[in-house]
Amino acid sequence: MKIYWSWQSDHPGRVSRHLVRKTRGRFRYDATAYYTRYDGFIFKALTGVECEATLASCGEHEDHDDDEHGREALDQVLFEQRDANFFGAELAGQYDVAQIWRGTWGIEGQYDFVRARFDEGGNVPRIPPHRLGGGVYCRDANRFAKAEVLHAFEQNQIGENETDTPGYTLVSAELS
């Protein structure tokens, strides 16, 4: 098992990252927790104003669902800069359950999240939701097969002028 602690000072803010990792053996895992303080974090801010094809058309009409050519309205975005704090964690693990044929089958799981807020209050926009997943795998010297499910939860800790994002589930398989 390896334990890492780091502090970066060459960053436009402060970063603290803590990592515990075990990469060998039947049970393997990786756990990371981090905190980052940004001095002047640059982000895209939705203004709540809709535009047609030109910048001059922004905010002209109350209903911009479609323009005269049937194109959808565009959301106006401005770049802003504010001090912000981010923190989060990533956890992943694999467990080799048993030998099968000439290989090994096992289970795996993962969880991750990030939370970001501005110093003056309010959520940083475009932050991903919490995610939780798991799967089964089978591997030998020549082949690897995996089936997994990853669920992203609803994102309701949103930035100004954003809308809640519903959760979704991704089911995938891999064979190599």
Q: Where are the domains of the chain?
A: 2-175
- Name residue 170's amino acid: L
Per-residue pLDDT reduced to its tens digit, 83-125 = 999 999 999 999 999 999 899 999 999 999 999 999 999 999 9
Non-local CB neighbours of 55 within 8 Å, separated by 6+ positions = none
Per-residue pLDDT reduced to its tens digit, 26-69 = 999 999 999 999 998 998 888 888 888 777 788 765 554 555 66
What pTM was estimated for this model as a whole? 0.78
Q: What are the helix (H) ranges across the chain?
A: none
- In the chain, the largest separation of any two C-alpha atoms, in whole Å, equals 69
